[in-house]
A = this chain, B = another copy of it.
């Protein structure tokens, strides 16, 4: 059962704030609660008390979401309908100005033996210092007819490669064999329309090998070929003018892909709130992003994750003072420190505002949220509820 929102949207004045703590969710063990449950969060607990809570699943039960699908869900998109693949996320993650039709991929600087077999998929974990000049060499020397080729260093052995031109097609299997002792794969097409792109990549691959001769790496193992889909923008789908105060390139990039205005990069958390205050009447939807919760999750650093949650908690009164009609606090996925990475665990979520109502939940945590009025639902279902609570949706049917 899906209702088309478009005919129901109105343009009443409204202020919606989405506060994303990246990788927020976790899980309790015999020893203690989750990071969120154990953190001292008097302000978030107050919002939980005054609002409604629940649990969200960005990509369905049991599916661990990456940052791309996780954020698309929060922005109201079905992340299984709109793909943001590895190549595109690598590009937006380093701030590369990707254009629709570009084909992007991740590349690993790698080493080959004399027989052409891969001996090290990460070129001896090459340092940034040594990798950056190699990428410069690639940008200088690699040029093919029929497409522009861009290389951009990401970190260590990781490189972004982008092809730009007419009629490119990303349906190319990975060239990275994902193991040593075998040669890199040659570019092939998974679909006849991608044959020209495969041919272009074969020439790029030849030139890369030539350019890297006698350097600290021998080849670029490309994978995750991906085209930038032209995503419908949030103003079209949801009738909101949206802006982000995110600080990290990937989240600023994903926000720009859904049509958000990307405000100048705030220096810190407090500056994110200040930027929303400065632009409060210019937009009706703000996306604020906190990265440290996820970073600590990846590092398996319990104390750091708790500290990041508490740092956000301290800012909550300033966000409330802005006077939003709806404030949602959630995460793009869970990142339990026990697993040192993303996970499928449902993400604790709260919604607060004068029309939201309240439930019996009085603290913000995974187990408390399980009893909340928001229920357990797909992340992208939050968006219509936020619009409704902001007064932006008319009645369906008479």
Binding site for B on A (CB under 8 A): 1-3, 8, 26-30, 34, 50, 55, 59-70, 78-81, 83-86, 89-90, 224, 336, 338-339, 341-346, 355-360, 366-368, 370-373, 375-378, 380-389, 393-398
Minimum CB distance partner of A90 in chain B: B398
In the assembled complex, which residues on chain B have CB atoms less than 8 Å from the CB atom of A388?
Answer: 62-64, 343-344
Q: Do residues B79 and A384 form an inter-chain contact, with CB atoms below 8 A? A: no
In the assembled complex, which residues on chain B have CB atoms less than 8 Å from the CB atom of A224?
Answer: 398
> Which 10 residue pairs across A and B have the least CB separation, nearest first?
A27-B357, A62-B384, A66-B397, A375-B376, A62-B385, A69-B397, A86-B398, A62-B388, A344-B388, A61-B381
Q: Identify whether the interface residues of A are mostly helix, strand, loop, or mixed.
A: loop
Interface residue from B61, B80, B336, B343 paired with A377 (Cβ < 8 Å)? B61
A384 to B397, CA, bound (A): 24
In the assembled complex, which residues on chain B have CB atoms less than 8 Å from the CB atom of A345?
Answer: 357
A29 to B359, CA, bound (A): 9
Q: Do residues A393 and B66 form an inter-chain contact, with CB atoms below 8 A? A: no
A67 to B395, CA, bound (A): 10
Interface residue from B26, B367, B381, B382 paired with A359 (Cβ < 8 Å)? B367
What distance in Å separates the Cβ of A237 from its nearest Cβ neighbour in chain B? 13
Q: Do residues B367 and A1 form an inter-chain contact, with CB atoms below 8 A? A: no
Minimum CB distance partner of A80 in chain B: B1
Q: Do residues B27 and A358 form an inter-chain contact, with CB atoms below 8 A? A: yes
In the assembled complex, which residues on chain B have CB atoms less than 8 Å from the CB atom of A395?
Answer: 64-66, 341-342
A388 to B341, CA, bound (A): 13
A342 to B393, CA, bound (A): 12
In the assembled complex, which residues on chain B have CB atoms less than 8 Å from the CB atom of A64?
Answer: 388, 393-396
In the assembled complex, which residues on chain B have CB atoms less than 8 Å from the CB atom of A389?
Answer: 62, 344
A283 to B357, CA, bound (A): 39
A358 to B26, CA, bound (A): 10
Report 14 cross-chain contacts, Cβ distance below 8 Å, ordered by A residue: A1-B60, A3-B59, A26-B357, A27-B355, A27-B357, A62-B388, A62-B393, A69-B396, A83-B397, A89-B398, A344-B384, A359-B367, A359-B370, A371-B371
Q: A395-B65, A397-B85 are contacts. A60–B358 as well, Cβ < 8 Å?
A: no
A228 to B242, CA, bound (A): 40
Q: A3-B60, A373-B366, A375-B55 are contacts. A79–B397 as well, Cβ < 8 Å?
A: yes
In the assembled complex, which residues on chain B have CB atoms less than 8 Å from the CB atom of A359?
Answer: 28, 366-367, 370
Interface residue from B62, B342, B366 paired with A387 (Cβ < 8 Å)? B62
> Which of A8, A67, A388, A395 gathers the greatest number of chain B CB atoms within 10 Å?
A395
> Which of A344, A357, A360, A367 gathers the greatest number of chain B CB atoms within 10 Å?
A357
A45 to B357, CA, bound (A): 22
Minimum CB distance partner of A3 in chain B: B63
In the assembled complex, which residues on chain B have CB atoms less than 8 Å from the CB atom of A355?
Answer: 27, 338-339, 343
A170 to B356, CA, bound (A): 37
Q: Do residues A384 and B66 form an inter-chain contact, with CB atoms below 8 A? A: no
Minimum CB distance partner of A84 in chain B: B397
Q: Do residues B78 and A358 form an inter-chain contact, with CB atoms below 8 A? A: no
